[in-house]
Amino acid sequence: MRRFLVRRLAVAVLVIVTVSFVGFSLLRLSGNLAAVLAGEGASPREVARVAAQYGLDRPFFIQYLDWAGNALRGNLGKSLFTGESVSHLIATHIGVTAALAFASLALGLALAIPLGVFAATRPNSWLDRASLTFAASGYAIPSFWFGLILIYIFGVRLRWLPTSGSDGWTHFVLPTIALGIATMPAIMRLTRAGMLDVLSADYVRTARAKGLRTMTVLYRHALPNAILPVVSISAAQLGMLLGGSVIIESVFALNGIGLLAFQAIANADFPVVQSILIFLSVVYVVLTLIAELINARLDPRIRL
Amino acid sequence: MGNPVRAAALAFLVALIAAWAPPAVADKAHDTLNIVDILPIGSTDVYFGAYPQTQFMSNLLFDALVNYDPSTKKIVPLLAKSWTYLGSNATEFDLRTDVKWHDGRKFTADDVVYTLNWLIDPQTRFQRKFQWAWIKAVKKLGPYKVRIETDGRRPFDMLLLTLTPIYPQHVRAGLAETTDFGRKPVGTGPFKAVDYSENGGLVAVRNPDYKWGGSVKHANDIGRVILRSIPDQGAQISGLMTGTVDLFRGLPAPQAEALAQDPRFTLDVNHGLGFTYMWFDATGKSGSPPLMKLDVRRALAMAINRDHLNEVFTGHLHLPLPQNMCWPDRILGCAYTKTAQPYDVARAKKLLADAGYPNGFNVRITSYIGRLSQLAEGVAGDLAAIGVKATVEPVTLTTFDKKLDANDIQIIVAGNGLSGAPDVSQQVAFFFNAHDRTGDATLLAEGRALDGEIDPQKRLKFARTFYDRVADQVYLQPLTSQPQLFMHTKDLVMGTGSSNDYGFTISDLRWK
Amino acid sequence: METSLSPRRLMLRRAARHGGLLTGGAVVLLIALVAALGPLVTPYSPIAQDTLHTLSDPAWMATGSWAHPFGTDALGRDVLSRLIFGARTSLLIAFTASVIAAIIGTAIGMLGGYFGGRIDAFAVYLINVKLALPIILVALAVISITRSGVGVLIVILGLLTWDRYALVTRSLTQQLREREFVLAAHSAGASDAFIIVRELLPNLLDAVIVLITLEVAALILIEAALSFVGLGVPPPTPSWGSMIADGRSLMFFKPYLVMIPGIAIFVLVMAINLAGDGIRDVTTVR
């Protein structure tokens, strides 16, 4: 177990370093940073002076190491646009995105797992097909479009829910629905596949023979054994929800890091964009690492 | 253990119903004005803020030495009660003695000296610093008297002073990060900030001690203003419909007119100082040789049906078409005799063929994301009729600036609102000093002459020469008016003659 | 007799009975056909403006007419024509990007799966790096730096979506390389390159085709999202995503401008997924 952990950790660290380098170079190469910092209408001499002042005339790799050193100490630089500390910006915006991602995943699980269990009890029937189709439709609906429709129906016409902002939990209902339904098919399929495997096992038949109610058999005995792959895909989905919230946050005006990143891209605010990119990647790597560890803990076969 | 699905659904529904409450309506009944904008709020410090609403917030919370009265087209007193010109390089200002900052301290000459010195200090860095480069020195002559020395007096300078809010030395000078001032602003303006945050926006309440606004910054009956960002027009509209939003701007004309059918909402239009235009790169640096030919530019300009575009983009407001770059009735120093190219597709095709492009050519139009990109699409559609295949590149403000600096833009379709300074020098500065796309030394010389002239009659003469040349050479083809459209609840009454870059100031508003 | 039918024939039989594959496949073919015929079937040019007839209603409304069956947008352009051309653009981008991604991913997956050891470790590392990058964010950032355009989109999307191909082909290659026919080819003296390309690749094709189908659906959604925020297909070329964006602020007055392109996306993606799932069901030996 120890060697496994060390190995996976090493890979994770390597990936994070690579991603940080990719993010760093992507945006440094995008234009003359010194000119932007010097401001509009600055003379070439001014620009050169600013470049020296910020260390932008040093070799690229040195700049990266310098940045990385600061980043490890929690200093991600300052926003070019507002002058605020980037780590402060991320810290104040991550809450909204995390809440949205968790809620969306929870919704996806709440809808897809029962659907998967249900489909597994009637494999290859038309009900099975219909469930699969229903789950697939959650993925096929463009989330930004669905968000607009939800706003129109529930926000404007029915006035049940607020249409924008992030001041209270009611603001998260519509975006969660819009974002969460896309996770349905993947979770449902895995649940169904896992249940199909498990349902033919001996201990299930024993439970049935003992006269236990179907629901109990399904959810108390079968599901916990079938749920393993869903755990790792949930971690991956969570990571993707965090990264994919950009569009939904702009549709619903939620002040999360997705919207922050979007605005930063619009403003060519490099320090913010690259920091968010790297932050999201780190979160994803950590989540998948945790998922793998849970998997390994629960199923010793998957160590290799 | 019951069916977990059913249980979850029930819980969800109960929670939903339990949490349902009517949306918090802040409106006339609570004497709070809710304004929203599509862009992020940004700093209240106009020197660091880059958005149009920064001008609105600045006007709300701060004062400048002088103000501009659009109805008389004159500079009027604000923090300075009078001033004397001493030759061409200096002006002395006598400041009011009864002004207090929002925290109770008295306003003195020290604050003016601090603010202006900060603006010209070589150590300070901010984006539009060069706009104040004409200030050479500021001297304190007494507790309420200052002298400002410039590099040569131009009428434009006083206008720029109206856009130069004065900040408190005792608050701002001591800050470790000057940018923090914008988050906790202390000013002398008609409203004072009580809260500021990215999510909540700016919350400001009336300043009961404010009595130096004169006729322009007069008092009104609004008690509280909240300015927030809702970065989506659909969300703004639904906010207006549900009562959480009282006022917003920027809705395209067709939507605005449709919304105005509803008796609960009113549409107000500020004709504005600006216009939309098609600006060619005549230097060839952006990689489009056809645009270097006058006849090609003329052909492209003639292909545009400006009346139709005006219809589409300003709706049934029936606003006039701009005939040159400025509006003679509201911009100081504006005069011209030559006008925009007429709409004539047949002649355009002939000109294009004679110039050597009978089958048209490919070209790139760069514009801002949003309404202006739609205008650009309209232009592209018209150009297709004469065989010119245009693609539209909608970009953000910052990317636009970068591309402009890099000479990467072939045709610009954009709007210019003169940033609240209704003087032709502003246009010369923006269009031809900062980014020359003409390569025309004569024009640049004429622009310099116009910029440096103080005699009003001579100014008009120079203006005529300058703007006529622009029209003659078709460096730029004006397209439509650029009105500011405001959607608001019927409880609000709005004056529409402001020259503020945002389209209105707080003094233009009052409850019905 | 059933037992004498070739595996190919059996597959086709199963296909003919697979409801999802038939429905999905039919819809996809229909849309692809209309898209391919594009200029021949559209009543108007997608960029032709008619500023006297802006925002006209679709034919099924009392105020609409069959001159513009799906109505017109704010510039008077015919929605149906733009819808058809939008299909062309979206399908072109999604398909080409998928193929690029398939090539990259399969190469990485097969090399890693076949050689194992250090090469595989490197392949796994590459895949993990790619998986860690948030697709939409990176795409937005890169496009805002370069210029937006169909070519740029295809390349960027191709470079950002190859991971699933790599994972699947790697896993399949690992299974296949222990099989008899591979070992036989080895002992017969065949080179690695030969084995990979001539022996292993044909066996992976079915899986790769299924993946391409499903990824095309995903890419249509991604391209629509990018166009929706203005960093996708450059106007005036229509894209379903940008049509939704254009119609957004008019949604309360002219909902069809938002509904129609959205439903189109849903139908196409759903159909592709059904077809892809069907192909997978039919080609997988259970």
Q: What is the pLDDT of residues B88-112, one digit of tens each?
A: 788 999 999 999 999 999 999 999 9
User: Which of A81, A83, A164 is facing B232, going by the closest CB pair?
Assistant: A164
Which residues is B83 bridged to in the sheet?
Answer: B93
User: Which of B20, B369, B398 is facing A268, going by the closest CB pair?
Assistant: B398
Chain A residues whose CB is inside 8 A of the C277 CB are 132, 136
Question: Which residue of chain A is at minimal alpha-carbon distance from B128?
Answer: A40
Chain B residues whose CB is inside 8 A of the C77 CB are 381
What distance in Å separates the CA atoms of residue A206 and residue A217, rounded to the nearest whole number? 10
Lowest mean pLDDT among A232-236, B10-14, B149-153, B299-303: B10-14
Task: For residue A299, name the pLDDT band (cuts at 50, 70, 90).
Answer: low
Instruction: Tell me which of B129, B153, B182 is where a domain ends.
Output: B182
Our CA dihedral for B312, B316, B318, B324, rounded to 10 degrees, sits at -20
Q: Which of A86, A109, A121, A163 to mutate to test the interface with B (most CBs of B within 10 A)?
A: A163
pLDDT of amino acid A38: 65
Q: Does any domain span residue B2?
A: no
Instruction: Tell me which of B182, B208, B231 is where a domain ends.
Output: B182
CA-CA distances (angstroms) from residue A124 to A118, A127, A132, C7, C18? 12, 8, 10, 22, 11
Q: Does any domain span residue B315?
A: yes
Chains with 3 or more CB pairs under 8 A to chain A: B, C
8 Å CB contact between B324 and B340: yes
User: Which of A141, A244, A281 is facing C136, going by the closest CB pair?
Assistant: A244
Residue A12, both tokens:
């994770």
Chain C closest-CA separation from residue A212 CA (Å): 31
Instruction: Spell out the residues 6+ positions from residue C208 whose beta carbon is closer than 8 angstroms to its own.
Output: C102, C106, C165, C168, C169
Residue-wise pLDDT for C182-206, tens only, equals 788 888 887 888 888 888 888 888 8
CA-CA distances (angstroms) from residue A292 to A281, B53, B389, B390, C132? 16, 49, 54, 52, 15
Question: Which residue of chain C is at minimal alpha-carbon distance from B258?
Answer: C253
Look at residue B268 and give its three-state secondary structure.
Answer: strand
Chain B closest-CA separation from residue A237 CA (Å): 21
Q: Does any domain span residue B13?
A: no
CB atoms within 10 A of CB B496: 15
Whole-number mean pLDDT of chain B? 86
Residue-wise pLDDT for B455-464, tens only, equals 888 889 999 9
Mean pLDDT value across residues B58-82: 92
Question: Which residue of chain A is at minimal alpha-carbon distance from B230?
Answer: A253
User: Which of A26, A142, A240 is facing C265, going by the closest CB pair?
Assistant: A142
Regarding whether B429 and B339 lie in a shared domain, the answer is: yes
CB crowding C243-278: b at 16 or more within 10 Å, else e: bbbbbbbbbbbbebbbbbbbebbbebbbbbbbbbbb
**Ranges of residues in chain C whose predicted pLDDT is under 50:** 1-2
Residue-wise pLDDT for A150-183, tens only, equals 988 887 778 788 777 777 788 899 999 999 998 8
Q: Which of C118, C127, C136, C258 to mutate to test the interface with A (most CBs of A within 10 A)?
A: C136
Residue-wise pLDDT for A73-82, tens only, equals 888 888 877 7
Regarding whether B51 and B71 lie in a shared domain, the answer is: no
8 Å CB contact between C139 and C156: yes
**pLDDT for residue B361 is more than 50:** yes
C251 touches chain A (CB under 8 A): yes
Chain C residues whose CB is inside 8 A of the A143 CB are 225
The sheet with strand B201-206 has its strands ordered as B191-197, B201-206, B224-229, B32-37, B247-249, B484-489, B265-270
At A289, give phi and psi (nearest 5°): -65, -45
Where do the structural domains in chain C lie, given as residue ranges? 7-283
Query: Which pTM does this prediction carry?
Result: 0.82
Q: Does any domain span residue B251?
A: yes
Regarding whether B168 and B33 lie in a shared domain, the answer is: no
Can you give the C-alpha Rg of chain B in angstroms?
A: 25
3-class secondary structure per residue, C14-41: HHHHCHHHHHHHHHHHHHHHHHHHHHHC
Residue in A249, A197, A189 with CA at minimum distance from that of residue A222: A197
- Please give the residue range of the domain that contains residue B316: 275-481
Chain B closest-CA separation from residue C150 CA (Å): 11
Residue in B484, C241, C232, C134 with CA at minimum distance from that of residue A276: C134
Chains with 3 or more CB pairs under 8 A to chain B: A, C
Lowest mean pLDDT among A89-103, B388-402, B462-476: B388-402
User: Which of A41, A267, A269 is facing B434, going by the closest CB pair?
Assistant: A41
Q: Which of A145, A188, A302 to mutate to test the interface with C (most CBs of C within 10 A)?
A: A145
**pLDDT for residue A294 is more than 80:** no
Regarding whether B424 and B373 lie in a shared domain, the answer is: yes
Which residues is B33 bridged to in the sheet?
Answer: B225
Look at residue B33 and give its three-state secondary structure.
Answer: strand
pLDDT of amino acid C106: 95
CB-count burial class (<10 Å; 0-12, 13-18, 19+) for A209? exposed
Residue-wise pLDDT for A197-211, tens only, equals 888 777 777 777 777
> CB B369 to CB C230 under 8 A?
yes
Residue in C210, C193, C231 with CA at minimum distance from that of residue C277: C210
Q: Look at chain B and count its residues.
A: 512
What distance in Å separates the CA atoms of residue B165 and residue B65, rounded to the nearest whole number? 7
Looking at residue A149, its amino acid is I
Residue that the structure tokens 């390994």 belong to: A296
8 Å CB contact between B253 and B309: no
Which residues is B197 bridged to in the sheet?
Answer: B201
Question: What's the CATH code of the domain at B238?
Answer: 3.40.190.10
Whole-number mean pLDDT of chain A? 83
> Which residues of C touch chain B, with CB atoms under 8 Å apart?
45, 47-49, 51-52, 54-55, 74-77, 144, 147-149, 230, 234-237, 246, 248-253
Residue in C222, C221, C215 with CA at minimum distance from that of residue C273: C215
Lowest mean pLDDT among A210-214, B180-184, B211-215: A210-214
> CB B255 to CB C55 under 8 A?
no
> CB B234 to CB C48 under 8 A?
no
Provide the CB-side half-sphere exposure for A186 (13 A, CA).
20
Regarding whether B285 and B417 lie in a shared domain, the answer is: yes
The end-to-end CA distance of chain B, in Å, is 60
What distance in Å separates the CA atoms of residue B388 and residue B380, rounded to the nearest whole number? 8
Regarding whether B325 and B464 lie in a shared domain, the answer is: yes
Q: How high is the ipTM of this complex?
A: 0.88
Regarding whether B297 and B357 lie in a shared domain, the answer is: yes
Q: Which of C90, C126, C128 to mutate to test the interface with A (most CBs of A within 10 A)?
A: C128
Question: Angle B159-B165-B167 (CA atoms, 0-180°, nearest 5)?
Answer: 155
Residue-wise pLDDT for B368-383, tens only, equals 877 888 899 999 999 9
pLDDT of amino acid A40: 57
CA-CA distances (angstroms) from residue C7 to B387, B436, C10, C12, C175? 55, 71, 5, 9, 21
Q: Does any domain span residue B375?
A: yes
Domain count within chain B: 3
Lowest mean pLDDT among A202-216, B121-135, B245-259: A202-216
Question: Which residue of chain B is at minimal alpha-carbon distance from A252?
Answer: B235
Chain A residues whose CB is inside 8 A of the C265 CB are 140, 142, 145
Instruction: Tell me which of B158, B182, B206 is where a domain ends.
Output: B182
**Sequential DSSP letters for A184-214:** HHHHHHHHHHHHHHHHTSHHHHHHHHTT--H
Regarding whether B493 and B474 lie in a shared domain, the answer is: no
Cα B472 to chain centroid, rounded: 28
Question: Which residue of chain C is at minimal alpha-carbon distance from B365?
Answer: C235
User: Which of A110, A255, A266 is facing B199, going by the closest CB pair?
Assistant: A255
Question: What's the CATH code of the domain at B103?
Answer: 3.90.76.10
> CB B241 to CB A83 under 8 A?
no
Question: What's the CATH code of the domain at B320?
Answer: 3.10.105.10
Residue-wise pLDDT for B414-461, tens only, equals 988 777 788 888 788 777 766 788 888 888 888 888 877 778 888 899
> CB A11 to CB C270 under 8 A?
no
A-facing residues of B in 2-31 (CB < 8 A) are 3-5, 8, 16, 19-20, 23
User: Which of C49, C76, C230 is facing B394, going by the closest CB pair?
Assistant: C230
Regarding whether B361 and B289 lie in a shared domain, the answer is: yes
Chain A closest-CA separation from residue B137 CA (Å): 20
A-facing residues of B in 399-438 (CB < 8 A) are 399, 401-402, 405, 434
Regarding whether B380 and B331 lie in a shared domain, the answer is: yes
Regarding whether B340 and B419 lie in a shared domain, the answer is: yes
Q: Does any domain span residue B15?
A: no
The end-to-end CA distance of chain C, in Å, is 20
Regarding whether B442 and B318 lie in a shared domain, the answer is: yes
Name the CATH superfamily for C7-283.
Answer: MetI-like (1.10.3720.10)
